[in-house]
Amino acid sequence: MDSIKNIFNIPDLRKRLFYTFALLAVYRIGGHVPVPGVNFEALDSIFRSQAGSLLGFLDLFSGGNLRRLTIFALGIMPYISASIILQLLTVIWPYLEKLSKEGGEAGRRKITQWTRYGTVVLSIIQSLGIAFWLENFNAGGTQVVLRPGWFFRCLTVITLTTGTAFIMWLGEQISERGIGNGISLIIFAGIVVALPGATVRTVQDLITGNIGLLALLFLMVLMVAVVGAIVFVERAQRRIPVQYARRVVGRRTFGGLSTHLPLRLNTGGVIPVIFASSILSIFQTLGQVPLVKKTTWMRDFIHQFDFTMPLYNLLYFVFIIFFCYFYVSIIFNPMDTADNLQKYGGFIPGIRPGRRTAEYIDTILTRLTFAGSIYLGLIALLPTILISGLNVGALPWIGPTLDALLPVFLTQGLGVKFMFGGTSLLIVVGVAMDTVQQVESQLIMRHYEGFLKGARIRGRRG
């Protein structure tokens, strides 16, 4: 409570906090302004029937706005996609690589500007695709779009693209004038807004007897344990000792310090889970194509990629491992790190500078990435295991044998109602930790003791 009180004792930090809350409130208000020309009851019934499709995945990052087709229906996903595309291009395009490394502040602003342009282009493409998509949908014979045509398509493109651009501006304002992590906080707000409703439904299930008291207590303990495990792993890092050689320049001595190179256990964050979910959701989206629905073998093939099927879970787990290595190889170059250490007179004790140092760092990073990818895969599959199980009995040939050998809680689930999916749980916990650290750094800068206990720098009370 003293730490919270200290926040409001600092005028600048208090102003930043209220500014952040005000912009998040604007975001939530915009989430209730619908796009005209849509039958929202029919749209909601379609989303309930496509929980594992691409639209359902995009709805997660829009905070439920896509389900209601509000002006913020696309959410911040086009901005995330544009940022990832720019990161990938930085690796394969020498001009962008030089701009990001040597361009300084001007280079960073230019890349940010290109990200904005990419966000607008992706928003136009996605919003036009959604307009065409909705025109072909009907729920129980009721058309989703009241008056299909180019007027509806153009109106949808203009509205959704403008909404995404406005959300991007809100995120940048929170990062610059608020407490930071603007884009992440917008995603966070869109996910946690469903928490009160989920809590009310859980209480109603308890009253009506759909869930027992012991099951509810077990679910609460399990959620606390899972959140604690995520916090522990997200903060875990391997610290490689680094020694800097002592240099004498004139009458001054430089170097001679001992420090460490921190390598996170989960270097890729939640990005590998997003990549894996995006690819697998394409199969469910293809399952809605009329040609696929009419062809028996296509329909049966696509059904194997349903989010309740074992093949989906297996590929989900494998893709997460693959994208962990893929993304880490993009954002972290051991050779560049080794060259920078050698340039400034640093070395790892017992390891020769240069190529041997890069190989040593790469070996450690590979092992950490493997452990981090297994952790991400387990967290992503946890809700499936709790709710419905892995359903291995549906596998051809070996399914019945596996179903008999594996424990019942793995094959049939525990039947509990887990409030968050794996992706959303990682985002919520990760963003909460980053925000707490942002506030902590602000407090320490102003000589106040913050939230994190046991820190090496302790502030004095003003």
pLDDT tens figures, 292-306? 667 777 777 777 777
10: in domain: yes
What global pTM score does this model have? 0.76
Tokens of 14: 């208090």
31: in domain: yes
Rg over CA atoms, the chain: 25
Identify whether the C-beta of residue 323 lies closer than 8 Å to the C-beta of residue 276: yes
Q: What average pLDDT does range 410-423 have in this prediction?
A: 64
38: in domain: yes
189: in domain: yes
CATH value at residue 120: 1.10.3370.10
184: in domain: yes
Tokens of 370: 């493997």
Other C-beta atoms closer than 10 Å to the C-beta of 115 total 18
Give the Cα separation of 91 and 99 in Å (integer): 11
pLDDT of residue 456: 47
Q: What is the mean pLDDT of the chain?
A: 79
Beta bridge partners of 254: 247
107: in domain: yes
Q: What average pLDDT does range 355-383 have in this prediction?
A: 90
- Structural domain boundaries, residue 161: 1-193
Q: How confident is the model at residue 112 (pLDDT cuts 50, 70, 90)?
A: confident
Q: What average pLDDT does range 25-40 have in this prediction?
A: 84
Cα-based distances in Å from 270 to 93, 276, 315, 375, 423: 25, 10, 17, 11, 7
Total structural domains in the chain? 1
Indicate if the pLDDT at residue 22 is higher than 80.
Answer: yes
Look at residues 154, 127, 163, 173 and name the one whose alpha carbon lies nearest to residue 30: 163
pLDDT of residue 281: 72
pLDDT of residue 371: 92
Of the two residues 61 and 105, the one the predictor is more confident about is: 105
Q: How confident is the model at residue 51 (pLDDT cuts 50, 70, 90)?
A: low
450: in domain: no
413: in domain: no
* % of the chain residues with pLDDT over 90: 10
Give the Cα separation of 72 and 169 in Å (integer): 13
Amino acid at 215: A
